[in-house]
Chains A and B, each alone.
Chain A
Amino acid sequence: MISRHPGRSAVTALVMTLSLLLLSSTPASASGTCSSSTYYEPAQTSLASYQGVVGDLTDPSAAQLAGSLSNDNDGQHQLLWFEMLNENPEGSCGADQTECWQQVGVGMGTVEWSGSDFSCSSYASDQGSTYNVYYEGIGPGADDCYDYSYTGISINEDSAIPFDLFYDGGVGGSGYPQFDGEVTDSSGTLRHVNYGQLYYSTDHVKVASEEWTGSTSTCVTATNGSPYQNFGTDDGGNWSSGNYKMQLEDSSGSWGAWTGSPNTNNANPYWYDPLANSPADFQTNGPSPSGL
């Protein structure tokens, strides 16, 4: 897991830099705000309280990812993901005690040791032309982040599969609201990924792409780019090449397309302001009738 939260970013960047220095064969970091060893994260976050998200993620090898992040496709870590997030829970999640999350995504490359506040490293291994689904989360009372790569569930290059992450209506074994992660594999079979618990059954939803690169890159923003990354589904939560909406489950348990008003103002790698033009903002690298 790479820290992607504003409060952790400086520490994480430092730890990542130190980690790189420990690797004798890894080039030393370049200087600059958005250069080597920097974690880039164009993210799209809801402000409302949701209890699930259904959408679609394309493979992470596209040249252009969410926002204007260009993917150099150099084999380094690259992830796309959905997330349910509790902020400032009444207890601890990880050493910084500020956030718990459950995340489902697809990735390529390998995340280096982050280690700043929890033991979690993604293992989204590249297997040639396929990319693995992964699940990650940190739950109430836990110090450790759990991070699993599902080698048996992958996404083909230049294709897309639906992802679901939702509150399942009850509590899990530790007595906290339980979320369920599912994906639909390339054969069309719904595949269970994992369960995880959070302090609250409703809270923020986040969709993001991220790349950690060892080479110099420009700073990224969370504005739309072209081609687009497709996070979309139809109104029923089903992905197809012509759909570009994102489905959210509200606190009453109803699913519907995101029609709120997030905006893309003032996006930078370490802070995520919501988007302005939803649901079209959720399509990057996918087909778009309007060309957005």
Chain B
Amino acid sequence: MRTRPKDFRRGWKVAVAALSLAGVIVVVITVQHRPSPLLTARSGTPSAAEVVYSVPQLSYSPIQQLVGDPAGAGAWFWDYTKTEDTVFHVSQTGSVQSWPVLTGSDYVGASGSSGLAVANDGTVWLGINSTLLRLDPSTSQVQTWTIPTASDNAAAESFMPPNMVGMHPVTSIAVNPSDTAVAIAEENANAVEIFDVTTGNYSSLALPSQGDIAVALAYSGDGTLAVGLSNISAGGSANQLLLVSNGSDSTATLPAAGSSWSTAPEGSNSFIVGSVTPSVVSETGQTTTLATPGNLLGSPIGNSSAPLGIVNGNSVGIVSSGVEEFPIGASSVAAAAAAATTVQMPAVNCPSNVAGSAQQSGTSSAGSTAGCAAPTPNMLATDAAGNIWTVIDGGSIAVAPAS
């Protein structure tokens, strides 16, 4: 058996500390990254991203969700093995902490794309199937709640194989700015569930039309909830945004199909939506289409991690060889292109890295990345310190500072 071409030739120091709190055993793994000549691509190019961590491939699946740290430098993600659901935090230097949050009989195998969000108070929220989970990283305490069964969306379920009808796994979650509410979107459901953190109770936010499903969620800085909608009865064009503020609802129609899958806050009172043809949408539904460099790719393959972000006041989107940063207020495509900066991804899957028996025996040299194409990221996030985070090749985390 040959091993996989890419991966983990870096040296790691692993320290494992077992903590026990409230009956929950949490293992914290600290991994020290040593930069590798192979994976530190294009030295001298400040806009090149560097892989700082790769999940152990032989035990973990591809990274499920990635979010930037809202409080500083770093990123959060979650992943699973056959027996554990694990939350990770990775720093700019590749230091990694992990919390196996659902293990043993509590283990949940994700039937949907799941949802991951980090609150302003530093707690981490994870939704998998009908389980809502809160991790306090400072204490390693884990709390879980069962999400109420959603009402069926007949239009969406008409496209499902028989064994999926009646299932409503979580597809997205968002935490409000005051950390008092968690919005939860579920597959094939007619409503968004709102979890009251203080009381532990749920309430339902009905979607405007029977055929609507919620495909993305975000809270603005002042607490307005944006729900990305796709009306399956009307062709599922995913081009509407429901805006909910203090019980006052409005709906914005977006200029491009698929836009509502990518919804993120932009400032305190607006949202940026869409990964290929992005727009800024105000809390009252006013929509302004952004001028972009014209080469944004979105995410043709992948789960629902928003492939568009905001960093240092600029927009960041996925392009074929990396990510591109461009000003939100550009007056034209030409102006956006002129001001754009591309962050290239390091090549991690090259012919010279192909696993042969030499590698298998551990005697292979690092090889060269010459001639390798930079991979297209499949997840994108930005942190509060101005870093751009990506997942490439399913299991590697790359980071680059924004320009």
Q: Residues on A close to B: CB < 8 A?
A: 19, 22-26, 52, 54, 75-76, 102, 109-110, 112-113, 115, 119, 121, 123, 125-127, 137-144, 146-154, 162, 164, 166-176, 178, 182, 184-185, 187, 189-192, 194-197, 236-238, 247, 249, 253, 255
Contact = CB atoms under 8 A, between A and B. Distances in A.
A218 B357 CA distance: 25
Contact of B159 (A151, A168, A171): A168
Given A144-B320, A184-B163, 8 more contacts: A52-B159, A119-B373, A139-B301, A141-B297, A143-B373, A164-B163, A169-B232, A195-B304
| Most chain B CB neighbours (cut-off 10 Å) among A152, A164, A236, A255 | A152
Nearest to B158: A253
B163 A142 contact: no
Contacts, number: 231
B299 A171 contact: no
Interface of B: 1-6, 57-62, 80-82, 109-114, 155-156, 158-164, 167, 169, 213, 215, 230, 232, 235-238, 256-259, 261-262, 275-276, 297-304, 307, 320, 349-358, 372-373, 375-376, 378, 394
Contacts of B169: 192
B109 A189 contact: yes
12 contacts: A23-B358, A24-B358, A25-B358, A54-B162, A112-B355, A144-B320, A149-B4, A151-B57, A172-B300, A174-B298, A182-B111, A196-B302
A104 to B, nearest CB: 12
Nearest to A110: B2
B58 A174 contact: no
B302 A195 contact: yes
Given A109-B2, A123-B57, A170-B232, A19 B351 contact: yes
A25 B357 CA distance: 6
Contact of B112 (A123, A139, A192, A197): A192
B161 A171 contact: no
A194 B304 CA distance: 10
Nearest to B274: A173
Contact of B1 (A75, A149, A237): A75
Contacts of B394: 146-149
Nearest to B257: A175
A112 B373 CA distance: 17
B161 A141 contact: no
Given A190-B111, A191-B110, A255 B61 contact: no
A136 B355 CA distance: 20
Nearest to B213: A170
B59 to A, nearest CB: 6
Contacts of B159: 52, 166-169, 249, 253
Contacts of A197: 300-301
A171 B301 contact: no
Contacts of A149: 4, 57, 61-62, 394
Nearest to B363: A25
A119 B160 CA distance: 31
Nearest to B59: A151
A190 B58 contact: no
Contacts of A113: 5, 349-351, 353-354
Nearest to A123: B4
